[in-house]
């Protein structure tokens, strides 16, 4: 009693293919995460240096302003 269809199903091959595909998807996600972390660290280093330099320059400028104000207010002899 045949219904006219001849279907050969290779479950082992299908499972192996599915497992390989899932493994590749996870590997791609891990690679993308690693790449993102590397990019963020490459951006963070110069950004931190720039912020530090900016803070140092700002502190020096404020110091100069305070010295100028103090000398302007101080009584002259």
Note the pLDDT tens digit of each residue in 9-26: 678 888 999 999 999 999
Note the pLDDT tens digit of each residue in 34-62: 999 999 999 999 999 999 999 999 999 99
Q: What are the φ/ψ torsions at residue 33 (nearest 5 degrees)?
A: -65, -45
* Residue 13 φ/ψ region, left for φ over 0, alpha for ψ in the -120 to 50 degree band, beta for the rest: alpha
Q: What are the strands, taking DSSP E only, across the chain?
A: none
DSSP 74: S
Judge whether residue 67 has pLDDT over 50.
yes
The pLDDT of residue 66 is 93
Task: Give how far Cα 3 sits from Cα of 8, 9, 10, 45, Å.
Answer: 14, 16, 20, 69
């Amino acid at each position: 009693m045949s219904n006219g269809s001849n279907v050969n199903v290779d479950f082992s091959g299908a499972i192996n293919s599915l497992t390989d595909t899932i493994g590749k998807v996870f590997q791609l996600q891990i690679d993308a995460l690693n790449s993102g972390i590397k990019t963020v660290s490459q951006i963070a280093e110069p950004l931190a240096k720039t912020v530090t330099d900016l803070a140092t320059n700002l502190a020096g400028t404020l110091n100069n302003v305070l010295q100028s104000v103090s000398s302007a207010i101080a009584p002259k002899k």
